[in-house]
């Protein structure tokens, strides 16, 4: 089947820009076509002046796969417009049906691409941080297939990065606690992310290389949610604490 990938990319970009949900894609895309749509829809953002700042991994934990019913790792692209400035409340109106999830972020000091081992991956890491990802599927009812979600930039919407910390030391089993309005809502461990979030970075380097791309020095890489995501409502205050690394927080405007 021949689909007009530019048309699908425009449909998804408009849905994100106007925070207006659309039906799941009627086109049966291949996974390659879905990543082409993602690249095309991001190109529209770059053309409007947004700048690429890195990438995010998705479905790197069992909790996330089970919550969404999707069982393959995916990735998406991050832009500067998605970064939430510290202390600035998020406007709920920017999103369709936002959810927040607890993550770990890596900051790279050297490029990475292709098949690498965890030692090589960590040697390219300048810093690690606790991070909150705000995901917002552009599909009605937050329901999608694997190719739908890939085309939709893997639900990327916003991110909050906590204080950057020295990456030395074991990242494989750090306690992670997500609180909303002072009440514990999700708790887990960085081990939920592929056994160790560094394996998510290893996978990121391999997956971008499959598309002829690379991770660059200065890139942020989000390792993926360690637990299921929680719906965001106006007025909420969300805080993630990660053992040893510190915390990241956000508030949603009333
Ligand atoms: C897709 C994005 C998955 C993660 O951390 O696993 C993701 C979604 O759940 O809508 O960001
Ligand atoms: Mg995520």
- Write out the DSSP string of the chain: ----HHHHHHHHHHHHHHT--BPPPSS---HHHHHHHHHHHHHHHHHTT--EEEEEEES-SHHHHHHHT--S-EEEEEEGGGBPPTTPPBPGGG-SS-EEEEEEEEEESS-B-SS--HHHHHHTEEEEEEEEEEE--SBGGG---HHHHHHTGGGEEEEEE---B---S--TT-EEEEEETTEEEEEEEGGGTTTSHHHHHHHHHHHHHHTT--B-TT-EEE---SS--EE--TT-EEEEEETTTEEEEEEB--
Q: If you measure from the C-alpha of residue 205 to the centroid of ligand 2, how many angstroms do you get, rounded to a whole number? A: 17
What pLDDT is recorded for position 52?
A: 98
Nearest CA, atom 9, ligand 1: 68
CB of 144 sitting under 6 A from ligand 1: no
Residue among 76, 61, 106, 73 at smallest CA distance from 16 = 76
CATH ID of 5-251, from 3.60.10.10, 3.90.850.10, 3.40.50.2300, 3.60.150.10:
3.90.850.10
Q: Are 171 and 196 in contact (CB under 8 A)?
A: yes
CB half-sphere exposure, 80, CA atoms < 13 A: 7
Lowest mean per-residue pLDDT among 3-12, 86-95, 180-189, 211-220: 86-95
Pocket probe for ligand 1: among 229, 232, 240, the residue whose CB has the most ligand atoms within 8 Å is 229
Domain residue ranges of the chain, discontinuous segments joined by +: 5-251
The ligand 1 atom nearest the CA atom of 222: 5
Query: Is there an atom of ligand 1 within 6 Å of 156 CB?
Result: no
In ligand 1, the atom with minimum distance to the C-alpha of 144 is 10
Residue 102 in this model has a pLDDT that exceeds 70: yes
Pocket of ligand 1 contains residue 137 by CB under 6 Å? yes
Q: In whole angstroms, what is the distance from residue 124 CA to residue 128 CA? A: 11
Res. 85: pLDDT tops 90: no
Residue nearest to atom 10 of ligand 1 (CA): 155
Nearest to 207 by CA among 56, 67, 71, 80: 56
Encode 200-212: b = buried (16+ Cβ within 10 Å), e = exposed: bbbbbbebbbeee
For residue 87, pLDDT beyond 90: no
pLDDT at 1: 57
Residue closest via CA to ligand 1's atom 11 equals: 58
Average pLDDT in the chain: 97
Over residues 27-45, the mean pLDDT reads 97
Residue 240 CB–ligand 1 contact under 6 Å: no
Chain segment 123-146, per-residue pLDDT in tens? 999 999 999 999 999 999 999 999
Pairing verdict, β 220-222 and 52-58: parallel
Instruction: Report pLDDT for 168.
Output: 93
Question: How much is the pTM?
Answer: 0.97
What is the residue with the minimal CA distance to atom 8 of ligand 1? 155
- Between strands 74-79 and 52-58, the pairing is antiparallel
For the stretch 38-68, pLDDT in tens is 999 999 999 999 999 999 999 999 999 999 9
pLDDT of 59 reads 98
**CB atoms < 10 A from the CB of 15, how many?**
20
Q: What is the mean pLDDT of residues 229-241?
A: 97
Shortest-distance atom of ligand 1 to CA 223? 5
- Residue 63 — left, alpha, or beta (φ > 0 → left; ψ -120 to 50 → alpha)? alpha
Residue 244 CA to ligand 1 center (angstroms) comes to: 25
Name 132's bridge partners: 102, 160
């Amino acid at each position: 089947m021949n689909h007009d990938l530019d048309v699908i990319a425009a449909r998804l970009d408009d849905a994100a820009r106007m925070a207006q949900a659309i039906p799941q894609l009627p086109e049966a895309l291949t996974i390659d076509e879905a990543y082409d749509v993602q690249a095309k829809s991001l190109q529209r953002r770059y053309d409007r002046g947004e700048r690429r700042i890195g990438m995010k991994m998705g479905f790197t934990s069992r909790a996330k796969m089970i919550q969404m019913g999707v069982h393959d790792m995916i990735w998406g692209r991050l832009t500067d417009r998605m970064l939430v400035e510290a202390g600035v409340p998020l406007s709920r109106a920017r999103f369709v049906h936002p959810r927040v999830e607890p993550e770990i972020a890596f900051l790279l000091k050297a490029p990475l691409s292709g098949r690498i081992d965890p030692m090589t991956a960590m040697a390219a890491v300048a810093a690690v941080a606790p991070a909150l990802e705000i995901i917002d599927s552009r599909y009605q009812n937050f329901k999608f297939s694997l190719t739908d979600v890939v085309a939709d930039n893997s639900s990327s919407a916003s991110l909050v990065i906590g204080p950057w910390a020295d990456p030395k030391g074991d990242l494989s089993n750090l306690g992670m606690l997500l609180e909303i309005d002072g009440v514990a809502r999700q708790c887990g461990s960085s081990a939920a992310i592929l056994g160790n979030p560094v394996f998510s970075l290893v996978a990121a380097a391999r997956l971008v290389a499959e598309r002829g791309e690379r991770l660059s020095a200065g890139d942020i890489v989000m390792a993926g949610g360690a637990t299921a995501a929680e719906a965001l409502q106006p007025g909420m205050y969300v805080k993630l604490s990660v053992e040893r690394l510190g915390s990241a927080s956000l508030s949603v405007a009333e």
